[in-house]
Structure 1
Amino acid sequence: MTLVTDRLILRRWTDADREPFAALCADPEVMEFFPSLMDRTQCDTMVDRIMLRTEELGYGLWAMELRATGEFVGFTGLAVPSFEAHFTPAVEVGWRLARSAWGYGYATEAAIASLDDGFTRLGLESVVSMTYVHNGRSRAVMERLGMRRDEAGDFDHPLVPEGNPVRPHVLYRLTAAEWAARGTSP
């Protein structure tokens, strides 16, 4: 399956995506709100897990490339959180982009396509998104998507070690009815 927007192609991962993904995850600015940078082995393991989950579920975190150039610039899509929390089970919309792709609205554009797919093709009733409490860039994308913050849902991320400053997370939600009322499509 492939999702196409005006400027982006969201597609299954290939082995050619592994090197640029590892570079993205080794960038301190990209990974500012994550517990640590990721090495190549960790990135390859993550890509393998994404590919497997996409095969199992029929959706996932899609590799994102620019239509104009074919350049890999990150990922976006839908995923099932791999941890237990008060709001799971759930489906999450998420993204991670190379610094060179920041500031162009790609995360929002790709997330709109992913949400539209989730609410139409997959028939999801709701989607969540989460980030470190001070990650203003991701929170702005969530708000542009029409997601609303669930202050009662804020939590300490269980996969982030205790004492790590990026452990406190905010939770945002969006229902299919809210999406339909917004009238947004890619």
Structure 2
Amino acid sequence: MILETDRLLLREMTLSDLDALLLVLGDAELMRYYPKPFDCEMVQKWIERQRRNYAQHGMGLWAMVLKATGEVIGDCGLIWQEVEGHQELEIGYHVRRDQQMQGYATEAAYACQDYAFNVLGRDRVISLIRPENIPSRRVAQKNGLKVVKEILWRDIPHYIYAVQRSESKLLATSNLSEAEKSKFKA
């Protein structure tokens, strides 16, 4: 396990997560902001890429696991992205469609932001989000990220959402009261 919140565990992906992640990354509606939904081979390569990230950087996108059931419902984590010639630490997330609107992406992304600032000592994190991806934009906004620029990234318009450590009002998610957590429901 890498991170834990009240409801979630974030852990390294393994190939045994392929079927669970195919339900997320292979969902055409969920992946409408990507060039196309993933097939089984693409999900396998996704997992292998994350495993390389773990070995090389000590982080990547991690499997998002519901503590109550042990079920993998998506991924969330920290990945290095090249943006306009600079390396930026991005918080990325995907949640299975039937598990959305319960605040899981917000909770997991918040834990990742806390980890980036308070464990890794980073001063800034970003999320690259397509302008029309309103659900992901809401997650970023709830976690204090703001649009700082619109760019063409991989030939597609994206907003760079960012937050500086000095701007963040971070508390560890596991320390939030139920009332505070309710603010993160997406």
Give the alignment's Cα RMSD to 1 decimal. Answer: 1.3
Of 40-49 and 87-96, more deviation after overlay is shown by 87-96
| TM-score calculated relative to the size of structure 2 | 0.88
Matches within 5 A, 1:50-89: 50-81=50-81, 84-86=82-84, 88-89=86-87
Name the one with the larger strand percent. 2
Once residues 85 and 29 of structure 2 are traced to their aligned partners in structure 1, the CA distance between those partners, rounded to angstroms, is: 29
Q: Secondary structure at the match of 2:108?
A: helix
Cα deviation digits, residues 143-170 of structure 1 (max 9, x gap): 00001111xx211221x5xxxxxx2111
Once residues 142 and 118 of structure 2 are traced to their aligned partners in structure 1, the CA distance between those partners, rounded to angstroms, is: 19
Compute the displacement of 1:92 (Å).
0.3
Letter of the 1:92 partner, please give it. Answer: E
> Are 2:12 and 1:25 equivalent residues in the alignment?
no
Q: Name stretches of at least 5 consecutive residues in structure 2 with no aligned partner.
A: 174-186
Letter of the 1:117 partner, please give it. Answer: Y
Once residues 6 and 55 of structure 1 are traced to their aligned partners in structure 2, the CA distance between those partners, rounded to angstroms, is: 27
> Are 2:117 and 1:119 equivalent residues in the alignment?
yes
Cα deviation digits, residues 61-113 of structure 1 (max 9, x gap): 110010000000000011001xx432621100010111121010000000111
Letter of the 2:63 partner, please give it. Answer: A
| TM-score calculated relative to the size of structure 1 | 0.88
Q: Closer, same or farther in 2 for the Cα pair 1:29/1:183, shift >3 Å?
A: same
Q: Secondary structure at the match of 2:55?
A: helix
Letter of the 1:25 partner, please give it. Answer: L
Once residues 62 and 120 of structure 2 are traced to their aligned partners in structure 1, the CA distance between those partners, rounded to angstroms, is: 15
**Structure 1 runs of 4+ off > 3 angstroms?**
none
> Are 2:167 and 1:185 equivalent residues in the alignment?
no
Letter of the 1:88 partner, please give it. Answer: H
Instruction: Determine the structure 2 residue equivalent to 1:155.
Output: 151
Compute the displacement of 1:125 (Å).
1.0
User: What's the % identity of the aligned pairs?
Assistant: 33
Of 72-81 and 87-96, more deviation after overlay is shown by 87-96
- Residue from 90, 109, 119 that aligns with 2:107: 109
Once residues 60 and 107 of structure 1 are traced to their aligned partners in structure 2, the CA distance between those partners, rounded to angstroms, is: 16
Compute the displacement of 1:176 (Å).
1.1
State whether residues 21 and 74 of structure 2, in contact with CA within 8 Å, keep that contact through their aligned partners in structure 1.
yes
Letter of the 1:36 partner, please give it. Answer: K
Q: Name stretches of at least 5 consecutive residues in structure 1 with no aligned partner.
A: 161-166
